Amino acid sequence: DTAVSQTPKYLVTQMGNDKSIKCEQNLGHDTMYWYKQDSKKFLKIMFSYNNKELIINETVPNRFSPKSPDKAHLNLHINSLELGDSAVYFCASSQGIGNEKLFFGSGTQLSVL
């Protein structure tokens, strides 16, 4: 069983479209994250939720809106996609917050044309 699973694996879309990426973890963890990895492989945190509450919200355009319906799920919705949004988006989870290792999904490769 995959611990942290995200869908879709690949997402190709036109500029201006709205798209969503879904993430689920079956580890029983309380905390979930979205990270963005750019073409230079730099991995940067975007959001973090702990027990469905937003605890980290980095400087991310408000076109990006995370939603956590329960602590096992964290989805990412992106409005009005731009070329610069092309990247690999990783979902991750951890047991709690502070001093915790992260478990990552396999990533969603987003290409905006």
For residue 55, the minimal CB distance to another protein (Å) is 6
Nearer Cβ to another protein, position 15 or 86? 86
Task: Please report, as residue ranges, which positions from 80 to 109 form the binding site for another protein (by CB under 8 A).
Answer: 90, 92, 94, 96-107
Task: Please report, as residue ranges, which positions from 43 to 62 form the binding site for another protein (by CB under 8 A).
Answer: 43-45, 48, 55-56
Which residue matches tokens 């997402």? 11
Which residue matches tokens 């201006």? 16
Q: Which two tokens stand for residue 69?
A: 């319906």
- Which helix (H) or strand (E) segment holds residue 58: the answer is none
Contact 97, 55 (CB under 8 A): yes
Binding stretches for another protein (CB under 8 A): 4, 31, 35, 40-45, 48, 55-56, 90, 92, 94, 96-107
